[in-house]
Structure 1
Amino acid sequence: MAFYKDKLQTAYDTMKKENIDMWIVAGQESATNSEPILPIISDHEFIGETALIFMKNGKAKTVCTPIDKNGYVNAGVFEEVIDFPVSFDQSVADVIKDVKPQVIALDFSENDPSSDGLTAGTYLHLMESFKLADFQGKVVSAKPIVNRVRGIKSSRELDKIRKACAAAEEIFRKAADVIRDGVNCQDVYAFFQKETDDHGYGYAWSKSCNPGVFSGPGCPAGHMGAPDVVIRKGHVVNIDFGVKVDGYSCDLQRMYYVLRDDETDAPEDIKFAFYTERDGIAATAKYMTPGKTGLEVDTFCRETITSKGFAEWGCATGHQMGMEAHDGGSILGPQKPRYNRDDLIRVPIEAGNVFTIEPGIECSGGHLGMEEDVVVREQGAEFLTPPQQELILIRSK
């Protein structure tokens, strides 16, 4: 059993910043009913009723089943390990009475699933504990803690994301030998899945929709896998793909162009669209410094690309990524009804956050949907894999 001390330090720092006295992460049999923050802070699963109790003074206690006691003792991060003999509720209440917190954070959120790990049953147990402790303070969402603990990636986590990116890039390169005139998008989809399975990689999102393979004007797109569409000369082929390696994900899109018989390069209008998107992503990465909000980054990217005469895209410019392709927390999003919440687009980004940058525009050959993965640094975002610089040209065979 191991707890990641860098992540716990982020939790303690956030508790001080938010004036939260106690954070309780509680659950039971997490392999059956997961708590999303648990694998971020530990390699352990809950066995039976368990409460990890963190205090803003940097100390922690845990209430657990007797079979887990030695594991928590040996973890070296808990000043007290309480193996409750009879009552979980009473044992948690005793800790609350001893610490006397005024503000307790629990893992619930109305709109962020990564912060909503507290089950209804465990909530009822904790409410009973609060009653037994005669707790008169305030209960708040642990979302600010969870978002920073999950969102600020350690060097260990970044190394794993880079591995996932490198694995996906190799499959993208191989795909250039499969994509050609007359091949169905579904055949390319099958190729990516075979490569993923043969290498033993996981899928960064649902296998049924991974990868997305889209070719030519008017091709159905979105989270749907691959439509029954035949790739033709003159098409741009957009592939949205992500693998999971060593528990961490990537989320990349790469663009191919299928040359016509008389072409040695893509038409000028398609290249102009591609370079506009490529350069817009690069400029956005430079603009992404700590303190800017997701709304500011999204607006910058949109204005950079639409100033070249292209229509703006309907979805957000980017989302956070980590263990999951969509990793929760704030996004790079616009003031549109789906996204227009302060906690979603007006939260300052921080150094160590990993985001996708994925504007989308239409051109004569179809949809251009490049996507890059970046980590926020003090001087701007760093690409986690070399960004695509040129269309991948597919010659007739």
Structure 2
Amino acid sequence: MFSKEKVKIAFDALRDEKIDMWIIAGQESATNTEPILAVMSDAEFIGCTALIFCKDGTSTAVCTPIDYNGYVHHGVFDEVIAFPISFTDTLAEVIVKKKPEVIALDYSLENPSADGLSLGMYHLLEEAFEKANYQGKVVSAENIIVRVRGIKSEEELSKIRKACLEAEKIFDDAKDFIKPGMNCKDVYAFFQNEVERKGFGWSWPKSCNPGVFSGYGCPGGHMGAPDFAISRGDVVNIDFGIVVDGYGCDLQRMYYVLKEDESEAPKDIVEAFNTVRDGILLAAKALKPGVTGLEVDTVAREYITGKGYEDWNAALGHQMGRVAHDGGPLLGPEKPRYNKDELIRTPLFENMAFTLEPAIPTRAGRIGLEEDVVVKKDGAEFIVPPQKELYLI
């Protein structure tokens, strides 16, 4: 079924963006996916299909005769038209009838979640435009999709929270599993076995989930676990995400492996952890509707570097939802690969879900926390309670 809440967001975005018509078009989407379709419904495109939403609040589905009853049954389309012979002829008739001046299509140079229109389907749409003698503008639907995908419903947030809570149980169990002398690969296998045993999915590919990194000089990044020993006096950073009921989480937790004569972590390691933790808390307070990702990133980055720690070569955070990296605007700096208006200077909306994940290197290894939050009027809310202290092993 289609989400009426997501359809309403689409209509609001069309009016705000002054776009007359949004066309979501595709065929055999199980093979050639259209990312926004899965966010709006559990439907699949079979034959050539166009879902049309207009600024005036009306909607039309153009589909094959065999798909007709399904779209009627969804109950969200004012008109369902089964094309008798030609998809492009029937779509052209709708365009002539509606007389749009601006049509948005699902393509984007920067946002993969808004880039669902295939080249072949684009050529079919061009054919329909030509048959309709359409003289108006064709623009990217990115700004519509940013809102439809990014603004999470209460049901979506509930599913993200469930994934976070289940991931936290595995993080907690790891406290009793991790031991000095183990290899990062041992911890990686523990997390993988727990996910498989509990029947969860993966927020990113299984081969590099979780990331397990321990000690100074340990390789890091999107790579799973290197062949690297965990020693006393090391921190252990675990980057982990699972999917439960179709929605995922993306969390990092920090452990410290005590030396034999220690009952707590050394002062400099605790201070580094607290700096990352507090940078996240400050960024969460700043993460309100209407701010930009650049503004939020700057809060955490200036706080952490102001404490004397080096800058990190990544964004502060990204959107999350059905997958770990859910597309759309980032919480990012003015570094070359992020310095685009649509990524870091776009005002954010309430109920968007983001990660907050700064990191700094230490003599005991990388300290990186990652929390999942949702944008609210008075600052972001943590989807599950944030980690406040190092977990001691």
Common fold: TM-score over 0.5:
yes
| Aligned residues of 1:181 and 1:258 also touching (Cα < 8 A) | yes
| Cα pair 1:52 1:61 within 8 Å, conserved | yes
Aligned to 2:111: 112
Aligned to 1:128: 127
Q: Deviations over 1:315-353 (max 9, x none)?
A: 000000111100000001010111000110001111111
- Aligned residue number for residue 32 of structure 1: 31
Provide the residue aligned with 1:14 in structure 2.
13
- The letter for the 2-side match of 1:108 is Y
Write the letter of the residue equivalent to 1:383.
F
In structure 1, give the amino acid aligned to 2:372.
D
Unaligned runs of 5+ in 1: none
Task: Provide the C-alpha distance between the structure 2 equivalents of 1:329 and 1:43, rounded to a whole number of angstroms.
Answer: 21
What's 2:355 paired with?
Answer: 356
Letter in 2 for 1:34: T
Any runs of at least 4 consecutive aligned residues in structure 1 with deviations exceeding 4 A, and if so which?
none
Alpha-carbon distance, 1:70 to partner: 0.8
Question: Residue 43 of structure 1 corresponds to which residue in structure 2?
Answer: 42
* Equivalent-residue separation in structure 2 for 1:281 and 1:217 (angstroms): 23
After superposition, what is the alpha-carbon deviation per residue over 1:252-307, rounded to whole angstroms, capped at 9, x for unaligned?
00000000000000001101111111111111101111111101111110111111
Q: Residue 271 of structure 2 corresponds to which residue in structure 1?
A: 272
Contact 2:239 / 2:252 at 8 angstroms: preserved in 1?
yes
> Do 2:279 and 2:299's aligned partners in 1 also have CA atoms closer than 8 Å?
no
Matched, 1:192 2:214: no
CA contact (8 A) 2:269 2:362 kept: yes
User: What is the CA distance between 1:50 and its match in structure 2?
Assistant: 0.6
* Structure-2 residue corresponding to 1:57: 56
Q: Distance in 2 between matches of 1:110 and 1:349?
A: 20
For the residue of structure 2 that corresponds to 1:172, the secondary structure is helix
Q: CA deviation digits over 1:39-64, x for unaligned, max 9?
A: 11111111111100111111100111
Query: Given residue 9 of structure 1, which amino acid in structure 2 is its aligned partner?
Result: K
Distance (Å, rounded) in 2 between the aligned partners of 1:265 and 1:3: 53
Alignment-derived partner of residue 223 in structure 2: 224
**Gap regions ≥5 residues in structure 2:** none
Identity of aligned residues (%): 62
Equivalence for 1:67? 66
Q: Which residue of 2 aligns with 1:99?
A: 98
Equivalents in 2 of 1:154, 1:225: separation in Å?
A: 32
Residue 170 of structure 1: SS of its match in structure 2? helix
Corresponding residue of 1:23: 22
- 2:176 match: secondary structure: coil
CA–CA distance in 1 between the matches of 2:251 and 2:75?
Answer: 38
Answer yes or no: is the 8 Å Cα contact 2:185–2:212 preserved in 1. Answer: yes
Instruction: Indicate the residue corresponding to 2:76 in structure 1.
Output: 77
| Correspondence list, 1:219-258, <5 A | 219-258=218-257
Amino acid at match of 2:158: D
Q: Which residue of 2 aligns with 1:308?
A: 307
Deviation (angstroms), 1:27: 0.2
CA distance in 2, matches of 1:348, 1:12: 18
Counterpart CA distance in 2 for 1:262 and 1:250 is 36
1:75, CA displacement in angstroms? 1.1
Q: Distance in 2 between matches of 1:106 and 1:51?
A: 11
Report deviation, 1:111. Answer: 1.6
- Select between 58-67 and 228-237 the one with higher mean Cα deviation: 58-67
Contact 1:236 1:367 in 2 (8 A): yes
Deviation at 1:103, TM superposition (A): 0.4
- The alpha carbon displacement at 1:16 in A equals 0.4
Which residue is equivalent to 1:322?
321
Correspondence 1:361-376 to 2 at 5 A: 361-376=360-375
Q: Deviation digits for residues 360-382 of structure 1, max 9, x if unmatched?
A: 01122110010000000000000
SS in 2 for 1:177: helix
Aligned-partner residue type, residue 346 of structure 1: R
TM-score scaled to structure 2, two decimals?
0.99
Distance 2:348 2:147 in 1: 10
Q: Which residue of 2 aligns with 1:154?
A: 153
Which residue identity is paired with 1:158? L
Question: How many angstroms apart in 1 are the aligned matches of 2:65 and 2:164?
Answer: 42
Q: Which residue identity lines up with residue 96 of structure 1 in the other structure? A: I
C-alpha root-mean-square deviation of aligned residues, in Å?
0.7
Task: Report the counterpart of residue 346 of structure 1 in structure 2.
Answer: 345
Separation in structure 1 between the aligned mates of residue 353 and residue 223 of structure 2, nearest angstrom:
25
Residue identity in the other structure for 2:169: E
Q: Is the 8 A contact 2:19 2:104 kept in 1?
A: yes
Q: Per the alignment, in what secondary structure is the counterpart of residue 276 of structure 1? A: helix
TM-score under structure 1 length normalisation? 0.98
CA distance in 1, matches of 2:78, 2:305: 56
Cα-to-partner distance string for 1:73-103 (whole Å, 9 max, x where unaligned): 1111111111111100101001001111010
Match of 1:355, SS state, is strand
- Structure 2 CA distance, aligned partners of 1:342 and 1:278? 28
Quick one: distance in 1 between partners of 2:269 and 2:351?
A: 34
Tell me if structure 1 keeps the 8 A contact 2:24–2:52. yes
* Equivalent position amino acid for 2:128 in 1: S
Aligned match of 2:284: 285
Alignment partner of 1:139 is 2:138: yes
Quote the Cα distance in structure 2 between the aligned partners of 1:56 and 1:193: 47
Query: Which letter does structure 2 place at the counterpart of 1:265?
Result: E
Instruction: Encode CA deviations 1:179-210: one digit per residue, 9 max, x unaligned.
Output: 11111101110111111111111100111110
1:343 maps to a residue whose letter is E
Aligned to 1:208: 207
The 8 Å contact of residues 269 and 364 in structure 1, kept in 2 or not, is answered as: no
Give the Cα separation in 1 of the matches to 2:260 and 2:78.
72
8 Å Cα contact 2:210-2:224 kept in structure 1: yes
Number of residue pairs matched? 393
